[in-house]
Amino acid sequence: METMPQTSVVFSSILGPSCSGQVQPGMGERGGGAGSGSGDLIFQDGRLISGSLEALMEHLVPTVDYYPDRTYIFTFLLSSRVFMPPHDLLARVGQICLEQRQQLEAGPEKAKLKSFSAKIVQLLKEWTEAFPYDFQDEKAMAELKAIAHRVTQCDEENGTVKKAITQMIQSLLLSLATRSQLQELREKLRPPAVEKGPVLKAKPPAAQKDILGVCCDPLVLAQQLTHIELERVSSIHPEDLMQIISHMDSLDNHRCRGDMNKTYSLEAYDNWFNCLSMLVATEVCRVVKKKHRTRMLEFFIDVARECFNIGNFNSMMAIISGMNLSPVARLKKTWSKVKTAKFDVLEHHMDPSSNFCNYRTALQGATQRSQMANSSREKIVIPVFNLFVKDIYFLHKIHTNHLPNGHINFKKFWEISRQIHEFMTWTQVECPFEKDKKIQSYLLTAPIYSEEALFIASFESEGPENHMEKDSWKALRTTLLNRA
């Protein structure tokens, strides 16, 4: 039997050391204790569980004696885009800041104005670092500069607040420029061209390479797949994942459509999974001799097994999916020669029954290994992305955004934020394996058969065995002859 991966990842959290969602000592507190409410905020056991949108926005803004928990900052900034675009939130934050500043100037605590300004700058700094893409919008950037101008008016001659703002904006612009350059590079990349396949014969030229001609070591191929996974998943940002909810919510969709580029990274990563599945099927179906097909299947089973041991569940699932595609699965004579014990174990881990219970147990083991990791190799956790997205989707669907009293159901958004934050920590790990450009080039650019071409190659390897297959094969031949 396979041993369950013992993965674990300890990263520098984007939430910092305070990530419990609780009110932290010395941070001040707006609200009450267990089961209490303060105005339009409701707390339970010291944890904010609901509130009106206005009260939640006010809870985000520091005062002279209060600074919000960093987990709250991240969670509210992430979830607020379901209800309003970031530039509108920033405008409201600016109004609240201005009102507090005017109160300080008119009251006995005018001396604390600089301290208040420094806290506002810190909040803006955390916002620009966690969600720099929000400020690609011209309205948001204008609001940011307006708030910055207000808080610098109280600055002393040495200009410490002004210096902090200058550094913040410079870092933001650099981050935006970097993302823009990465976006341009991604748009230049094209997915592997879908090979039309042969007319009737699937025999490739003798000199044409297959995956075994490029890499015959399952561990090395699994490591290169992990490289590609981590490179691609690192382009996904928290706000991209929140778009899943924003686009699903028909009531709010007109207010938070956002830029379609925000979902580009999600689509690109999803396409990678599909391309890998089709590549596996292509590599198997294009092999002419049964002995070699058997070897190819066993090779991919070993690659999937190594992916599992690494903690790369996404590639593992893509490989299994490729081998379960009908053109491959129907090759009974080939499969009869395959030692399937390893494959059976892999399928057991990815058994969809009980909401993928076996996979979730393995993922939990991987996460625990990651959290106690002593080496970078033990830090890798790459979940099955489609399942992660479905989890976010169902979490959104089974819990309402608003409670009967009109409050935002912030308990729901704590959980969504927790899951997204955990995913983001997994994406931040650096791949410990040496990059092999030759292998990666093959994986990313090798031609893949269309579904039609896969069936043709499959039927030519092993003829149709029942009436349904015979009808399909006859229809395919007729279609190809007519096309010719």
Stretch among 37-41, 326-330, 471-475 having the lowest mean pLDDT: 37-41
pLDDT in tens, 28-67: 444 433 344 445 899 999 899 999 999 999 999 999 889 9
What pLDDT score does 263 carry? Answer: 67
The arrangement of secondary structure in 45-183, i.e. its CATH architecture, is Up-down Bundle (1.20)
What pTM was estimated for this model as a whole?
A: 0.83
Q: Tell me, what's the pLDDT at 484?
A: 62
Compare 151 and 389 and report the one with higher pLDDT.
Answer: 389
The mean pLDDT of 464-480, rounded to a whole number, is 88
Question: Model confidence at 483, in pLDDT bands (50, 70, 90)?
Answer: confident
User: Residue 8: pLDDT above 80?
Assistant: no
Average pLDDT estimate for 82-89: 93
CB atoms within 10 A of CB 353: 7
3-state secondary structure the chain: CCCCCCCECCCCCCCCCCCCCECCCCCCCCCCCCCCEECCEEEECCEEEEECHHHHHHHHCCECCECCCHHHHHHHHHHHHHCCCHHHHHHHHHHHHHHHHHHHHHCCCHHHHHHHHHHHHHHHHHHHHHCHHHHHCHHHHHHHHHHHHHHHCCCCCCCHHHHHHHHHHHHHHHHHHHHHHHHHHHHHCCCCCEECCCCCCCCCCCCCCCHHHHCCCHHHHHHHHHHHHHHHHCCCCHHHHHHHHHHHCCCCHHHCCCCHHHHHHHHHHHHHHHHHHHHHHHHHHCCCCHHHHHHHHHHHHHHHHHHHHHCEHHHHHHHHHHHCCHHHHCCHHHHCCCCCHHHHHHHHHCCCHHHHHHHHHHHHHHHHHHHCCCCHHHHCCECCHHHHHHHHHHHHHHCCCECCCCCEEHHHHHHHHHHHHHHHHHHCCCCCCCCCHHHHHHHHHCCEECHHHHHHHHHHHCCCCCHHHHHHHHHHHHHHHHHC
Highest mean pLDDT among 44-48, 148-152, 325-329: 325-329
Encoding tokens for residue 378?
């033990």
Instruction: Give the model's confidence band at 313: pLDDT under 50 very low, under 70 low, under 90 confident, else very high.
Output: very high
| Structure confidence at residue 311 (pLDDT) | 96
pLDDT exceeds cutoff 60 at 229: yes
Separation between Cα atoms, residue 387 and residue 14, nearest integer Å? 23
Residues in the chain: 484
264 CB burial (10 A radius; 0-12, 13-18, 19+): middle
The domain limits of the chain are 45-183, 213-449
pLDDT tens-digit profile of 393-410? 889 989 999 999 999 999
Q: How confident is the model at residue 22 (pLDDT cuts 50, 70, 90)?
A: very low
**What is the spatial distance between Cα 101 and Cα 399, in angstroms, rounded to a whole number?**
38
pLDDT value at 15 more than 60: no
Q: Please report, rounded to a whole number, the percentage of residues in the chain having pLDDT higher than 90.
A: 58
Is domain 213-449 in CATH 3.10.105.10, yes or no? no
Q: Per residue in 154-164, pLDDT tens?
A: 656 557 888 88
Query: Which pLDDT tens digit goes with each residue over 266-308?
Result: 888 888 999 999 999 999 999 989 999 999 999 999 999 999 9
- Is the model's pLDDT at 19 over the cut of 80? no
Q: Please give the pLDDT value at position 7.
A: 31
For residues 178 and 424, what is the distance between their CA atoms, to the nearest angstrom? 19
pLDDT value at residue 186: 60
11 vs 249, more confident = 249
In angstroms, the first-to-last Cα distance of the chain is 50
CA distance 103 to 18: 30
Per-residue pLDDT of 426-470, as tens digits, reads: 999 999 999 999 999 999 989 899 898 899 999 999 999 999 999
Tell me the pLDDT tens digit for each residue of 235-261.
899 998 988 776 665 444 444 444 444
Chain segment 348-395, per-residue pLDDT in tens: 999 999 999 999 999 999 999 999 988 888 999 999 999 999 999 889
Q: Which residue has the higher pLDDT, 186 or 417?
A: 417
pLDDT at position 188: 57
The whole-number pLDDT of residue 21 equals: 40
pLDDT band at 198 (very low <50, low <70, confident <90, very high): very low
Mean per-residue pLDDT of the chain:
83
